[in-house]
Structure 1
Amino acid sequence: MTLAPRITLITLGVADVAASTAFYEKLGFKRSSASNDSVSFFHMSGAVLGLFGRDALAADAGVAPTRPQAFEGMSLAQNLDSREEVDAAWDFAVGCGARPVKKPHEVFWGGYSGYFADPDGHLWELAHNPFMPLGDDGHMILPD
């Protein structure tokens, strides 16, 4: 047996499910009717984003809850077709209440990216990577 190389659900532990749900809906994410007061699910291209109470998520995994730290060691990313799209998406997210972390700029690896944080501090990177274009489905095309 092997694990298929895919992610079907990304669940973020949040302090307030309703407030975080409102933020993601303001960004334009479409909430599924499978959502309820304790969990929200959002349609994404190829995966689902879930929002679940931070302490409840820890209990579900059988681990002790911790408080958010300045950096949790991960980020979510969305690649876009151009630098202009990165700038527009970053400005839109900040206008929706995202906390600006790092304004988009040219980066050392030859691309263009910036970061914002959601209400719980989860980092989102918006990037244009000229070395890994997007396919018609919006997914990155990785070299073999």
Structure 2
Amino acid sequence: MAVPAHFSIVTLGVADVAASASFYRRLGWEQRGDQSVGITWFRTAGTWIGLFGYAELAEDVGLDAGPVAQAGSAPAYRGVTLALNFASEAEVDDAMAEALEAGAVHVKKPTRAEWGGYSGYWADPDGHLWEVAYAPGMPAREDGTIEVPRG
């Protein structure tokens, strides 16, 4: 059996589940589950984002937690970004403005990229990096999904 190429959940380790959940609600994302059990869920296009205590997630994985990001501080690069693709540059600008209004930390202003698109970055209260992008070769569908061309 081959391992199927899909994932159902991206779980983010966060310092304060309630505070992070509040941030994602301010983005207008649909929340599910009972936050009082220590984890909560937000619907995305076809998958879910889980918010789980930082130390608790490390314990679940069986690794040392290390330092927790300080809310509002410049994020540490962790080798991972999450991306939200949009149908136009204007939508990227709007999404960036809404994320900042909701409490995101500004990382990189949206600019035209060498690959022909337009993108910028913000970080959530725990420093998880989110790219907002318009990629003309991979236009976002109405549901937010994209198709990466062969080639």
SS in 1 for 2:26: helix
Residues 76-124 of structure 1: per-residue CA shift (max 9 Å, x gap): 0000000000001101110111010001010111100000000000000
After superposition, what is the alpha-carbon deviation per residue over 1:116-137, rounded to whole angstroms, capped at 9, x for unaligned?
Answer: 0000000000000001122344
One-letter identity of the residue aligned with 1:46: G
User: Equivalents in 1 of 2:47, 2:109: separation in Å?
Assistant: 27
TM-score (norm 1): 0.95
> What SS does the aligned partner of 2:58 have?
helix
Amino acid aligned to 1:143: P
Q: Deviations over 1:36-95 (max 9, x none)?
A: 221111111110100000000000011111224711111100000000000011011101
| Secondary structure of 1:29's aligned partner | coil
Q: How many residues align?
A: 143
- Aligned residue in 2 for 1:91: 97
Q: Is structure 2 residue 118 aligned with structure 1 residue 142?
A: no
Query: Which one of 100, 103, 117 corresponds to residue 106 of structure 2?
Result: 100
**Is this contact kept in 1: 2:107–2:123, CA < 8 A?**
yes
- The ranges of structure 1 where at least 4 consecutive aligned residues each deviate by more than 3 angstroms after the TM superposition are none
Alignment of 1:9-20 (within 5 A): 9-20=9-20
Report deviation, 1:142. 1.4
Which amino acid in the other structure matches residue 82 of structure 2? L
Query: Relative to structure 2, which stretch is displaced further, 111-120 or 69-78?
Result: 69-78
Mean Cα deviation higher: 92-101 or 64-73? 64-73
Aligned partner of 2:54 in structure 1 is 54
Q: Quote how far apart the aligned CAs of 1:3 are.
A: 1.1
Q: Quick one: which amino acid aligns to residue 125 of structure 2?
A: P
The answer to whether the 8 Å contact 2:18/2:35 transfers is: no
Gap regions ≥5 residues in structure 2: 70-74
Secondary structure of the structure 2 residue equivalent to 1:25: helix
| TM-score, scaled relative to structure 2 | 0.90
Percentage identity across aligned positions? 45
Q: Gaps (5+ residues) in structure 1? A: none
Return the alpha-carbon distance in structure 2 between the equivalents of residues 3 and 131 of structure 1.
Answer: 28
